[in-house]
Structure formats: C-alpha cells, structure tokens
Amino acid sequence: MATVKRASLLVDKSYRIGEVDPRMYGSFVEHLGRCVYEGIYEPNHSSADTKGFRQDVANLVRELNVPLIRYPGGNFVSGYRWEDGVGPREKRPQRLDLSWRTLEPNEIGTNEFVEWARSLKAEVNMVVNLGTRGPEEARDLVEYCNHPSRSYFSDLRRSHGYPEPHRIHTWSLGNEMDGPWQIGHKTAYEYGRVACEAAKVMKWVDPHIELVVCGSSSGVMPTFPEWESTVLEEIYEQVDYLSLHSYFGNPENDIKNYLAKSLQMDQYIRSVIATCDFVRAKKRSPKIMNLSFDEWNVWYHSREADTKVEPWIVAPHLLEDVYNFEDALLVGCLLITLLKHADRVRIACLAQLVNVIAPIMTEKNGPAWRQTIFYPFAQASAYGRGTVLVSVVSSPVYDSKDFSNIPCLEAVSVHNEQDSVLTIFAVNRDNKSSLEVECDLRSFNGYKPVEHSVLANPDLKVTNTRDNEAVNPRSAKLPILDEGRMEVILAPLSWNVIRLGK
C-alpha cells in the first residue's frame, strides 16, 4: 500500500499573477514529416472533406481547442518561397527541402492552411523566411495576406480565389536564427538588423499586426542570453514578443530527474524576462516585452529512428515520438509552469500538432488517435482560461541528478470569474507516496467541488495506440470542502484537475 505524505496549497482570489491569453494554448504545424501530408491533409482518406483535409484529425484538433497555430515552420521556413504555395496546384513546383532532406510538393500553402485553421476557429501565427530571404519578401507576404485590394500582391491573392484579406494578426520574424543548423544562420547583430528592417516594412503595410522576434533556440545555447540582449538592442520598439524554444527528454530513464525538468523551463523563462527588462531599463522604455514560447514539448524518442529515414521523399516518418505516461506527466508540469508566468508568456505553441512530436497520431488510410500528452493539454486548454492566481505551496521535496529541492506537489490555480469556476491543476511527482493536500480556499465563499479528474497509470512506459487508449483521465471521488478548507488525495505520479464552482 502506498504511503501518504502531506502538502498544502493556499489560493486567494485577490492575489493574481495575470490573465491567461488564449494563445497560451497554441500549437504548431510545419512542413515536416507527416504533419501536413498524411496528417492534416490526405485527399484520399475516407474522412477527407472536399478540400482534402482529414475530418477525423480536425475533430481531434477541435477537442484541443487550439486558438493559434504557428505555420509553416520551423526550420522549413528558412528556405521556403511562399510564392510556391499559392495559385493553381498544377503550376506549383516541387522543391528540395534542405532543412529536413525531403521533397516538398507544395500542395498545401498559405491560403489552404489559413482556410483550414479558420474552419477550426484558430488564428495563424505566420512565420516569414529571414534565412534565405529578407524584408522585401516579408513585406510582400503581409501585403498578399492582409491588404484588401488594388495592389500587386493583394490582387494576386484575389486572383487565386480569396477576395477578402486573411487579416493575420500574429507574425514571426524567422525561426531559430541563432542556430548553426539553420539555413541563413546569422549572428545576433546581423539578425537584429534584418529583423528590424523587416518589422518596419511589415508594419508599414499593416500597422495592426503583432510581431514575434527570435530569441535563443534553447536556454543551453552558448550565446544565451547575450543573443536576446543584442537582438533586442536593435529591435525593441518594433516588436511585441520575444520567442523561446525548449524540448525535454528522458534518455537516462530517471523519472525523478525527468519530472523536475519543468524547473529548467521555469529558470529559462525567468532568465529571458530578466534580459528583456535589462534592455528595457537600458533604453528607458515604458514598453514591457512579452514572451512567445512558440516551441515546447517532449522530444527524444524518435531521434535514433530519424537517422535511418530515406532522404528526398514526400512525407517521410520523421520525429514521430510515441509518447508514454511519464511524458504526459511532464507535459502537465510544463503547462503549469507556463501558466505561472501568464503575466509575461502570452503565446505558447505545443510543437507540433499532428504526427511530428504531436498529441495526435494518424495512420495513412487509417484512424487518428490521441497520444498520452493529448489529455493534459486538452484539459488545460478547456479549463485554464481566466486569471492565474498566486498558489502558495508547501510540499515535501526531493533531490535528483540535476536538480535540488524539487517539490513533490506542482500546482497552479486559474479563476474564471465570469463563470464562477476555480480550477486547480496539480501533479504529484512522488513515485511512491500519495499526497494529502490541504487547500485553503477561504476567499471562495459559496464554491464547492464539482469534478476531480485524474490521469494515472502504474506503468510509466505505457502508450496509447490506434487500438488501445491505455492512458486517459478518470473521475475520482470529489474532495471534501468544509469552511473554506478542502482536503484532496493525489495519487503517486498523477496529473489532477480539480474544479470548483458556485
């Protein structure tokens, strides 16, 4: 029988971190592997609509309630000619994609993707190529997408069958330009200058857009955080967000260390905020730079298999991580971490959406299914809307190989005042003991528990397959709330969603 440890959580509606921007629950579609072709788009599939998009996949995306999708990359965008993906399909060229050593048929491009995203009530975060291209091509794409008419590129869009502008609001200035692996890799100063000039002309075409500038591609880059500082020196007043990217894995098979890696994400965010605020102070600017964590996920399972994939084919099986239960637990911890920084992290994109390190998997001419990480993300997206509150946690701690003082209880609370709902997201990191958590909720007079959902499994390595969804949430006994104090039991190694309402 599992032992029980005690922890406490204090939440008061008066102590707020910040409002959750809906774009916190964004995702990412890149022309990589089977994300687009055989993922969202498969014209011969039995569920495909008249435009070739799989509706079984679309329905699962709707379950995730994704409000923003970053597109078309990723490393892919740094060699992409957006003009290849518009106009009649029969005239579109097939190109070598040097970033992933594949063939790109350009059957899907800007217009088709925007139309698909809008059918799912999602906006597009459009990324421009600042690798092989520059300000001119970025300006042209904004004109093509957002200008109404009576200019060359807006009229070109109209001639392609889209008389109304797409009115894309969020744009990103390239991808991971600090990485030597990136086509068109630049120094921080070189990138800062070209991004500044691109930002200028893009906003001259459409002053209403918001722009994301590339930060470091990870917090372990040797140029971090000097890259951020140098780039922001050049572009601070022209952009609205700075990007962050981070991926996590458990190749050493150490569950205690693995579940602590959300602390690494937390420190990365704090360092980027400090750097942004340093540049703000140096420039004596009243403007606060917010963050776009536009690539984050678990990624390590598929790395060996990817070395054996045949190059120069369309839609190879690349980056197809099959996620297990412990991956779902870490994704839960990462979501909690992002919410704890809702005052500055306004955009976040789970990378990616389908097949490629994704919550949704598909089989060609076959079914689509939910991976284990689908559920923490879907529940956070459904219930993590509103105001993030300061959550004061007292918890047993442990040490691991890379971290110390790791709290067994990881938790955050979100108050949806309009609907009178308080949601507590909590992970018990302890692999042996249940946690008996005493919650002080005295400021929520009149509220009562309405749901306790638990994601737990004794097998950390169990996965979901096309035929067996072994990992999915179950309902637990409702906790008892008495005079503003609630006691709830969290199973060992579990993701929990506790909802209270009036």
Region(s) of the chain under CATH 3.20.20.80: 21-383
Q: What are the residues whose beta carbons fall under 8 Å from the beta carbon of 408, sequence distance 6 or more?
A: 5, 7, 395, 396, 397, 398, 428, 429, 430, 433, 435
Asked whether residue 52 carries a pLDDT value surpassing 60, the answer given is: yes
- Give me 285's structure tokens: 């600017």
Active-site choice (83, 176, 197, 234): 176
Mean pLDDT of 180-188: 98
Active-site choice (123, 295, 320, 326): 295
pTM (predicted TM-score): 0.97
CA atoms within 13 A on the CB side of 171: 31
pLDDT confidence tier of residue 3, bands split at 50, 70 and 90:
confident
pLDDT number for residue 133? 98
Mean pLDDT of 229-239: 98
pLDDT number for residue 61? 98
Asked whether residue 27 carries a pLDDT value surpassing 60, the answer given is: yes
Region(s) of the chain under CATH 2.60.40.1180: 4-15+388-501
pLDDT confidence tier of residue 101, bands split at 50, 70 and 90:
very high
Asked whether residue 252 carries a pLDDT value surpassing 60, the answer given is: yes
> pLDDT tens digit string along 379-408?
999 999 999 999 999 999 999 999 999 999
**E strand residue ranges, 441-484:** 448-455, 474-475, 480-482
Terminal Cα distance for the chain, rounded = 36
CB–CB of 55/48 below 8 Å?
yes
Query: What percent of the chain stands above pLDDT 70?
Result: 100
Question: What mean pLDDT value characterizes the chain?
Answer: 97
CB–CB of 360/69 below 8 Å?
no
Asked whether residue 218 carries a pLDDT value surpassing 90, the answer given is: yes
| CATH of the domain spanning 4-15+388-501, picked from 3.40.50.720, 2.60.40.1180, 1.10.3720.10, 3.90.1200.10 | 2.60.40.1180
Task: Please say if 295 is a catalytic residue.
Answer: yes
pLDDT confidence tier of residue 2, bands split at 50, 70 and 90:
low
pLDDT confidence tier of residue 436, bands split at 50, 70 and 90:
very high
Asked whether residue 1 carries a pLDDT value surpassing 60, the answer given is: no
pLDDT confidence tier of residue 412, bands split at 50, 70 and 90:
very high
| CATH of the domain spanning 21-383, picked from 1.10.3720.10, 3.20.20.80, 3.40.50.720, 3.90.79.10 | 3.20.20.80
> pLDDT tens digit string along 138-180?
999 999 999 999 999 999 999 999 999 999 999 999 999 999 9
Asked whether residue 100 carries a pLDDT value surpassing 80, the answer given is: yes
What phi and psi, each to the nearest 5 degrees, are found at residue 333? -65, -40
The 10 Å Cβ neighbour count of residue 348 is 27
> pLDDT tens digit string along 114-148?
999 999 999 999 999 999 999 999 999 999 999 99
> pLDDT tens digit string along 302-320?
999 999 999 999 999 999 9
Report d(CA 424, CA 29) in Å as an integer: 30
